[in-house]
Amino acid sequence: MKAPDWFWKGLLNSYTQIFFSENKLFAAILIPVSFIDVYAGLFGLISVLFTNSVAFIFGLDPQKIQKGYYGFNSLLVGLGLGIQFEPVFILLFIVLLASILTLFISVTLEGVIGKYYLPHLSLPFVFALWMLMLSTREFDALNLNERWIYTLNDLYIIGGSSLVSVYEWWNQLAIPSPIKSYFLSLGAILFQFSVFSGVLLAVGLFIYSRIAFTLSLIGFFAAWAFYGLIGAEISEVGYSYIGFNFILTAIAVGGFFIIPNIYSYLWAIILVPLVAIIAISVNTVLSVFQLPVYALPFNIIVLVFLYVLKFRTGEQSRLFTWFVQRNSPEKNLYSFLNYRDRFYSYTRGSLKLPFFGDWKVTQGHNGAYTHKDDWSHAWDFEIEDEYGKTYQGSGDYPEDYYCYNKSVIAPADGTVEDVIDDVEDNVIGQKNLDENWGNTVVIKHSEFFYTKVSHLKKGSLKVKRGDRVRMGDILGVCGNSGNSPYPHLHFQVQETPYIGSKTLKHPLTNYYAGSGS
Amino acid sequence: MKAPDWFWKGLLNSYTQIFFSENKLFAAILIPVSFIDVYAGLFGLISVLFTNSVAFIFGLDPQKIQKGYYGFNSLLVGLGLGIQFEPVFILLFIVLLASILTLFISVTLEGVIGKYYLPHLSLPFVFALWMLMLSTREFDALNLNERWIYTLNDLYIIGGSSLVSVYEWWNQLAIPSPIKSYFLSLGAILFQFSVFSGVLLAVGLFIYSRIAFTLSLIGFFAAWAFYGLIGAEISEVGYSYIGFNFILTAIAVGGFFIIPNIYSYLWAIILVPLVAIIAISVNTVLSVFQLPVYALPFNIIVLVFLYVLKFRTGEQSRLFTWFVQRNSPEKNLYSFLNYRDRFYSYTRGSLKLPFFGDWKVTQGHNGAYTHKDDWSHAWDFEIEDEYGKTYQGSGDYPEDYYCYNKSVIAPADGTVEDVIDDVEDNVIGQKNLDENWGNTVVIKHSEFFYTKVSHLKKGSLKVKRGDRVRMGDILGVCGNSGNSPYPHLHFQVQETPYIGSKTLKHPLTNYYAGSGS
Amino acid sequence: MKAPDWFWKGLLNSYTQIFFSENKLFAAILIPVSFIDVYAGLFGLISVLFTNSVAFIFGLDPQKIQKGYYGFNSLLVGLGLGIQFEPVFILLFIVLLASILTLFISVTLEGVIGKYYLPHLSLPFVFALWMLMLSTREFDALNLNERWIYTLNDLYIIGGSSLVSVYEWWNQLAIPSPIKSYFLSLGAILFQFSVFSGVLLAVGLFIYSRIAFTLSLIGFFAAWAFYGLIGAEISEVGYSYIGFNFILTAIAVGGFFIIPNIYSYLWAIILVPLVAIIAISVNTVLSVFQLPVYALPFNIIVLVFLYVLKFRTGEQSRLFTWFVQRNSPEKNLYSFLNYRDRFYSYTRGSLKLPFFGDWKVTQGHNGAYTHKDDWSHAWDFEIEDEYGKTYQGSGDYPEDYYCYNKSVIAPADGTVEDVIDDVEDNVIGQKNLDENWGNTVVIKHSEFFYTKVSHLKKGSLKVKRGDRVRMGDILGVCGNSGNSPYPHLHFQVQETPYIGSKTLKHPLTNYYAGSGS
């Protein structure tokens, strides 16, 4: 991965990830909106750039930096600090420290929550901003922001009187109170407390995903109805930054983490009152410390619900979780439907073993009882002679082994997704645990349907990334690279294109993994 | 499992599980007592029925629903809400939401705490009711219950003047203050705050288990003595619902989770002051938020103590934990003594291998270093020829394998506990991970002593559940079903009757598992 | 391990472990300093002795008791209670209960935090003392200590007027305020709030480690600078027991858990402001409950930082963590440099296989993909005949196996570190899971470079602990003891001298284990 990738894509995704998106057009709306309060926007941007850079220098996974997993929580903390305080120089110092703190909390929660195959969502933002709000009260060098009254001036400087009048027009618009609250709640996600910001965000959300937009309305107005029913103070939903919890929960459960269908929409509605109960009770506790709840209720309910889904026994029905996140409800839905049609037909016969002649299965997949194998199948193959031996002579050299140097072929038509070809072959008895899989080819046959052959001989690979292959095409020859003390061929079916990914490298992937382990 | 099982047994067990019991007679006392305040009882009952039904529809494990694991926490939440508020229609809506919330918290804690092989006890009740008490303060549609003063009227309606006079007689009885407090503490477990309720519960507890009853007295009066010694306000024990924490802790540690003996009683007494320290300190914190401690101290101390027990090195001595929970201190004790006598004699020679002639061990149990194997032994068997080969011909067909179609026999006398006979045999090289064990027979030889043979051939099984078998009786023939890429026989010794149960399916089972993993 | 070891070493280490040390000279300073307030020191000492004894009787690992892992948290709790209350008899009772509570919390956190390969530091002390401070408020039998004013009297009794004048001289010394605060902060670690105590501790720290002493200064004065910069109340650092958090964090990160170099010092400085942010925010929350923060900020930041380090992809650079803790920054540094030079040369050829002739690798290490193997290599060896068979005859007796009774030799020069020689050999097909490794020899070849051979025959071992061996020396013969259903030889390279240690037996060891699993 080239540096610009983690830098530029990481920057954009740190904005869109707030809405579970990687849509660049959406980013082009979110970034300007974050600058409606100029200094908030500025400190938000600084937070993203600094966090991603520290993460890269520190040696964290560039792929995650690029996805915006670390940046988006820091962005929210930066926005929150920027809107709260006057932009003195010392604030810059605090924002940089806050970025490091948020990054560390992100990584820690990724590790802890990731063990349960759950995403850490915006919990790092919540915890980090609480810490900062509690401590900065004691910092005499920081002064509370009083530029709320100057927003119009700022806007005038940026966009002239036309921008000011657009802004004013929206805020003073005689739209019904709940709709106004909806827009304010949307804007509050980026700490931009104006109807104008909310309208722009609604447009962006609509562009990114019609499903997500619909769900945002459903979530918000279900909450509105619930507050009316129980007689709670309705204005809180709109004005105390609680409202966006309902919006984000509905999007997450209704269409993002679950394949959107009638049942996902139903649960999105059922969960709204639970979010309200959490929000009100947490608010009662936090008010003692004069802290807002931020996005905590959304985080709690979504994490708990996703976790509970894993405890369903039997096959998934009604509520389906995805295997590979496509970062859009629409794409997830499409992939799911596509997958359901194609996956089974493929596994029912159209796959050939990746070699000519008779080899022998010498080992089932190690760790056959772990969750990973619920969806993958792996075998090790060797060639044996009539006496059951796998080599001639002393067996001290790779050449003694029957399978060594034998051709490895494509098990079905597809596209080469990934290739490793630079791992030295081992001497017999040695294992290379640092490069576990050795020389490897991953082929994509269809959505969610990949095969991988590993431990090939160095220098033998005939294909490169992007090549189209037909069933039976030669990929290379069997070798002894990677975690392979003697020549053999590892072959497996998988739903993702990653090579030997450890679970934590893809915390958002494949989190459906059987009952709670 | 038939629907009535999870429904009816789940209903009764949701009441008795509060006292770690599955005793139906006990349930017959608990349920009426929960209705002494009629509306509390009603909303408690509704909570149980709704929770268990949602759990079933959602696809959670029916066996756990039947055990009352999910229902009993919701019951407590329902009772707590029912006693707190006037029974308006909107309360029904809140109670249903509360049931879902409690269920979700139960499943989540089951997953998180279950990873440590610990039960979640009544923590879900504590967390859920806190959330609801904090949030319902803001619900104008709910009014506080004022029917304390009408209890006598209610009793009159139910049982006439005779019931009223019984109730009155007990409450006004000139019994010593600590004894009165003991009964009030017992009653408080079901949110029934009267001596009358407490007396009925004490009778029920006595019927269920004399050991548990004795421990309840020991726990309570040890606490009474400690409060006197340190000069803390003694009335708190009886009147602020803290008292039952001592009772439940003493029962849990003294006789339920640990085999009752002199040392378990000693620790039950030692832990009482620790429960008091936790109770008083947590109460100081929670009083800021006007929340009661409920059962938190009991939960903390019991979980910590059970967890610490696992870190003992060497063999268990003095304090013994059980392998299979029999849901009664007396039965646990009996099983333990029985087990100590029989288990070892069985494993010392009276067990035959489950086949005729010479087979070969081709694989020790996969994952031989995990805790599960501390108490189980598993082997895979195949037949090999003089060249070490396990098949003749190409090995591409099951029939090529020497062990295929060979008889599998009962390794000792016993009763067939479970049978799976409907799993298709695999073609060579395929594995069926969805039905891991394939066709399987589990035989019970004595308490805690079961054997299992797996991967049998479909259609070959000669036994059914409940059959008595003698050592050497033919059970079926070796096949290739389940997680079996080529024909072989899996044989293991186990202490529970379950087939390939994952740990989390039996969170209360076998939690003694070596040091802390 | 003999009883005196866990008792006497456990006593001393419970004092030095506070500073991550096992230095006896340091202990000789710490213990007297803890007695400057006589009763505090006394209750501290009682806590250590009682905690370690209970741990031993309970059956916890004597090695950990000896290291002071359990005792040091209880010591701090005992000191805290002793300084707070008048030394009435009932206080002794409370201190003993507090010791049990602290021990239980220590073990629990060891298990929970140990799962992440992190140490539990002084978190148990923090949690336990909070509980006790909150609850003892309600104990009328305890009175607050008023002997601050009598300290001089006490000193006079112990050391006469000369000791009093030394004490006075230091406290009234006209040293600059920050330096005075530094000494007060150091003294506060042992709840001895005087400049005199701090000076003595500084001397002890200097004797133990110059690196640690330097870091203590860096940490404290970086905090001083940060407080000045942000305009927070600087006196808090010195007087409210927050100051030592900076000192301990700097030592832990700068030199103890990380090999000291320029980057570790840099991070020690960067983390100081984060400790300050945590300290101030946590203090704001806790002041509602009138609780001090104690060592919480230090614990949070160090644990989070050590955890985040594990998520670095690729090889370690700049910041290096150790494999075996030597309990001194200097020794860690020396070992690290030594290791870097020797380890690689050894593994590149100078190691022979531990037998004569040709054996065959029949199994790679089970669990080859787990973190443990990132640093170890293990193989099982058998002898096969020309047909690939490992035995002649029926294979029902150990003597049938070719490898049985064959000599096992030292793979390189070294010293015998550990020997097990009393495990019975199994009959064929049985496994001894209670004594997994069977008869075993561990040889130390150099720092962090050990080899182990296992499953040897009982009665065949030719070496004993402490023997020097040369490459090729006979250690014993291949047998069938331990987790070995048929004769074979297990051989592995490891960095620690322990036999088959489970991870949790060495929670402070080898915590660098690849990305977060």
**Tens digits of residue pLDDT in C139-173:** 888 888 776 656 666 667 666 777 777 777 777 77
pLDDT of C380 reads 62
| Distance between CA atoms of residues C484 and C477, nearest Å | 15
Q: In this structure, what are the phi and psi dihedrals at residue B149, rounded to the nearest 5 degrees?
A: -75, -15
Taking residues A241-261, what's their average pLDDT?
91
pLDDT of A345 reads 39
Who among A61, A288, A483 is closest to C313 (CB)? A61
Given pLDDT bands bounded at 50, 70 and 90, which one contains residue C422?
A: confident
**Lowest pLDDT segment from A364-378, A396-410, B92-106:** A364-378
Which of B68, A474, B470, A101 is CA-nearest to residue C273?
Answer: A101
Are B100 and A232 in contact (CB < 8 Å)? no
Are C230 and A94 in contact (CB < 8 Å)? yes
Q: Which residue on chain C is closest to A434 by alpha carbon?
A: C374
Confidence check: pLDDT of B345 > 50: no
Instruction: Count Cβ atoms within 10 A of the Cβ of residue B93 and give its class: 0-12 exposed, 13-18 middle, 19 or more buried.
Output: middle
A344 CB within 8 Å of a chain B CB? no
Q: Which residue on chain B is closest to C128 by alpha carbon?
A: B278
Are C134 and B229 in contact (CB < 8 Å)? no
Who among C116, C232, C308 is closest to A139 (CB)? C232
Q: In this structure, what are the phi and psi dihedrals at residue C190, rounded to the nearest 5 degrees?
A: -100, 20
pLDDT of B155 reads 67
pLDDT of B385 reads 60
| Distance between CA atoms of residues C125 and C78, nearest Å | 9
Confidence check: pLDDT of C3 > 70: no
Given pLDDT bands bounded at 50, 70 and 90, which one contains residue A114?
A: confident
pLDDT of C382 reads 64
Are B483 and A313 in contact (CB < 8 Å)? no
B305 CB within 8 Å of a chain C CB? yes
- The yes or no reply on domain C176-323 and CATH 1.10.3430.10 is yes
| Distance between CA atoms of residues C513 and A186, nearest Å | 42
Higher pLDDT, A103 or C458: A103
Are B503 and A515 in contact (CB < 8 Å)? no
Given pLDDT bands bounded at 50, 70 and 90, which one contains residue C235?
A: low
Matching residue, tokens 């657009």: A166
pLDDT of A153 reads 67
Are C140 and B230 in contact (CB < 8 Å)? yes
A59 CB within 8 Å of a chain C CB? yes
C-alpha distance from A428 to closest chain C C-alpha (Å): 9
pLDDT per position as a tens digit, A15-52: 999 998 888 999 999 999 999 888 999 999 999 999 99
Taking residues C194-209, what's their average pLDDT?
91
**Lowest pLDDT segment from B271-275, C52-56, C208-212, C241-245:** C241-245
Instruction: Tell me which chain B residues have a C-beta less than 8 angstroms from the C-beta of C100.
Output: 270, 274
Given pLDDT bands bounded at 50, 70 and 90, which one contains residue A446?
A: low
Taking residues B442-458, what's their average pLDDT?
80
Q: What letter represents residue B425's amino acid?
A: D
Are C59 and B280 in contact (CB < 8 Å)? no
Give the number of other CB atoms < 10 A from CB of residue A502.
14
pLDDT per position as a tens digit, B273-298: 999 999 999 999 999 999 999 999 99
C-alpha distance from B311 to closest chain C C-alpha (Å): 6
Instruction: Tell me which chain A residues have a C-beta less than 8 angstroms from the C-beta of C269.
Output: none
Neighbouring chains of B at 3+ CB pairs under 8 Å are A, C
Matching residue, tokens 């030669």: A474
C-alpha distance from B29 to closest chain C C-alpha (Å): 36
Taking residues C56-70, what's their average pLDDT?
90
Neighbouring chains of C at 3+ CB pairs under 8 Å are A, B
Confidence check: pLDDT of A415 > 80: yes
pLDDT of B380 reads 62
Q: Give percent above pLDDT 70 in chain A.
A: 77
- The secondary structure of C331-395 as a DSSP string is HHHHHHHHHHHHHHHHHTT-PPPSSSS--EEEEEPTTTTSGGGGS-EEEEEE---TTS-SBSTTS
Residue C321: DSSP 8-state: B
Q: Give percent above pLDDT 90 in chain A.
A: 38
Tokens of B56: 């079933």
Which of B37, B47, B56 is CA-nearest to residue B94?
Answer: B47
Contact B185, B220 (CB under 8 A): yes
pLDDT of C172 reads 72
Helix, strand, coil shares of chain C as percentages rounded to 5?
Answer: 50, 10, 35
B314 CB within 8 Å of a chain C CB? yes
Who among A308, A367, A387 is closest to B104 (CB)? A308
Given pLDDT bands bounded at 50, 70 and 90, which one contains residue A74?
A: very high
pLDDT of A482 reads 83
pLDDT per position as a tens digit, B38-81: 899 999 999 999 999 999 999 898 888 998 999 999 999 999 99
Task: Give the CATH fold of the B176-348 domain.
Answer: Ammonium transporter fold (1.10.3430)
Given pLDDT bands bounded at 50, 70 and 90, which one contains residue A382?
A: low
C-alpha distance from B411 to closest chain C C-alpha (Å): 15
pLDDT per position as a tens digit, B87-108: 999 999 999 999 999 999 999 9
Give the bridge partners for C416, in sequence order. C443
Contact C248, C296 (CB under 8 A): no
pLDDT of B357 reads 57
pLDDT of C377 reads 43
C502 CB within 8 Å of a chain B CB? yes
B367 CB within 8 Å of a chain A CB? yes
Taking residues B418-426, what's their average pLDDT?
86
pLDDT of B352 reads 65
pLDDT of C360 reads 52
Taking residues A471-487, what's their average pLDDT?
83
Instruction: Tell me which chain C residues have a C-beta less than 8 angstroms from the C-beta of A288.
Output: 288
C-alpha distance from B4 to closest chain C C-alpha (Å): 40
A504 CB within 8 Å of a chain C CB? yes
H-helix segments, B254-380: 262-287, 296-309, 329-347
> Residues of A numbered 77-96 whose beta carbons fall under 8 angstroms of chain B's beta carbons: which are they?
none
Are C142 and B230 in contact (CB < 8 Å)? yes
Taking residues A423-440, what's their average pLDDT?
79
Q: In CATH, what number does B360-505 get?
A: 2.70.70.10
pLDDT per position as a tens digit, C265-290: 999 999 999 999 999 999 999 999 99
pLDDT per position as a tens digit, C285-301: 999 999 999 999 999 99
C134 CB within 8 Å of a chain B CB? yes
Given pLDDT bands bounded at 50, 70 and 90, which one contains residue B367?
A: very low
Q: What is the mean pLDDT of chain A?
A: 80
Matching residue, tokens 């009991």: B298
Helix (H) or strand (E) holding A297: helix A296-309
C37 CB within 8 Å of a chain B CB? no
**Lowest pLDDT segment from A492-501, C94-103, C423-432:** A492-501
C-alpha distance from B429 to closest chain A C-alpha (Å): 7
Taking residues A465-470, what's their average pLDDT?
84
| Residue C142, CB-side half-sphere exposure with 13 Å CA sphere | 24
C-alpha distance from A491 to closest chain C C-alpha (Å): 16
Confidence check: pLDDT of B404 > 80: yes
- Superfamily of domain C1-145 in CATH is Ammonium transporter AmtB like domains (1.10.3430.10)
Given pLDDT bands bounded at 50, 70 and 90, which one contains residue B396?
A: confident
pLDDT of B150 reads 60
Given pLDDT bands bounded at 50, 70 and 90, which one contains residue A333?
A: confident
pLDDT of A3 reads 54
Taking residues A304-325, what's their average pLDDT?
76
Q: Which residue on chain A is closest to C364 by alpha carbon?
A: A485
Given pLDDT bands bounded at 50, 70 and 90, which one contains residue C240?
A: low
pLDDT of A367 reads 31
Instruction: Tell me which chain C residues have a C-beta less than 8 angstroms from the C-beta of B242.
Output: none
Pairs of CB atoms within 8 A across B/C: 127
Who among A307, A312, A366 is closest to B59 (CB)? A312
- Tell which of C235, C280, C293 to mutate to test the A interface (max A CBs under 10 Å): C280
Domain spans in chain B, listed from the N-terminal domain onward: 176-348, 360-505
**Lowest pLDDT segment from A407-421, A431-445, B15-29, C382-396:** C382-396
Confidence check: pLDDT of C381 > 70: no
Q: What is the ipTM of this complex?
A: 0.73
Q: What is the mean pLDDT of chain C?
A: 80
Given pLDDT bands bounded at 50, 70 and 90, which one contains residue A126?
A: very high
pLDDT of B103 reads 97
- The reply to whether domains C1-145 and C360-505 share a CATH topology is no
Are B107 and A515 in contact (CB < 8 Å)? no
Contact A414, A472 (CB under 8 A): no
Taking residues C206-227, what's their average pLDDT?
93
Taking residues A441-447, what's their average pLDDT?
79
C100 CB within 8 Å of a chain B CB? yes
Who among B108, B431, B483 is closest to A307 (CB)? B108
Q: In this structure, what are the phi and psi dihedrals at residue A174, rounded to the nearest 5 degrees?
A: -85, 55
Which of A446, A413, A449, A438 is CA-nearest to residue A490?
Answer: A438
pLDDT of B111 reads 87
